[in-house]
A and B are shown apart, each in its own frame.
Chain A
Amino acid sequence: MFNYTFHWNQALRSLPQMLDGALVTLQIAILSMAIGLAIAIALTLFRLSGNRILSGFATTWVEVARNTPALFQIYMAHFGLGNFGIHLSPYTALLVGIAFNNAGYLAENFRGALKAIPDTQTRAGRSLGMTSLQAFRWIIMPQMLRIAFLPATNQMVWAILMTSLGVTVGMNTDLAGVTQELNARSFRTFEFFALAAVIYYVIAKAVTLAARAFAWRMFRY
Chain B
Amino acid sequence: MKASVIALGLLAATALTSQAHADKLDDIIASGTLRCAVVLDFPPMGSRDESNNPIGFDVDYCNDLAKALGVTAEIVETPFPERIPALMSGRVDVGVASTSDTLERAKTVGMSVPYFAFEMAVTANDKSGIKSFEDMKGKIVGATAGTFEAIALEKQVKEWGTGEFRPYQTQADVFLALSQGQIDATVSTSTVAQANVKTGKFAGISVVGKAPFDVDYVSLFTNREEYGLINYLNLFINQQVRTGRYAELYEKWVGGELPDLTVNGVYR
User: Which residues of A are at the interface with B, using a C-beta cutoff of 8 A?
Assistant: 1-4, 7, 78-79, 82-83, 85, 87, 89-90, 167-170, 172, 177, 180-181, 183-190
Inside 8 A of B88's CB, which chain A residues have their CB? 2-4, 189-190
In the bound complex, do residue A85 and residue B90 qualify as a contact, i.e. CB atoms below 8 Å apart? no
Q: How far is the CA of A183 from the CA of B83 in the complex (A)?
A: 11
Q: Is the CB of A181 within 8 A of B104?
A: no
* Alpha-carbon distance between A112 and B80 when the two chains are bound, in angstroms: 44
User: If the complex has contacts A167-B145, A189-B85, are A7 and B180 also in contact, measured as CB distance less than 8 A?
Assistant: no
**Secondary structure of the B side of the interface?**
mixed
Q: Determine chain A's interface SS by DSSP, over half rule.
A: helix
Contact B105 A186 (CB under 8 A): yes
**Chain A min CB distance to B107 (Å):** 7
Q: How many residues of B contact A (CB 8 A)?
A: 36
Select the residue from A83, A177, A184, A185 with max chain B CB neighbours within 10 A: A184
Which among B44-52, B161-169, B188-196 touches the partner chain? B161-169
The docked-state distance in angstroms from the alpha carbon of A87 to that of B181 is 8
> Which residues does chain A contribute within 8 Å of B147, judged by CB atoms?
184
Least CB distance from B151 to A in Å reads 6
User: What are 29 sample pairs from A and B whose C-beta atoms fall under 8 A apart?
Assistant: A3-B90, A7-B107, A78-B177, A79-B180, A90-B166, A167-B167, A168-B168, A168-B173, A170-B142, A170-B166, A170-B167, A170-B173, A170-B183, A172-B165, A172-B166, A180-B81, A180-B145, A180-B167, A183-B81, A183-B84, A184-B147, A184-B151, A185-B104, A186-B104, A187-B107, A187-B108, A187-B109, A189-B85, A189-B88
- Residues of A contacting B104 with CB < 8 Å? 185-187
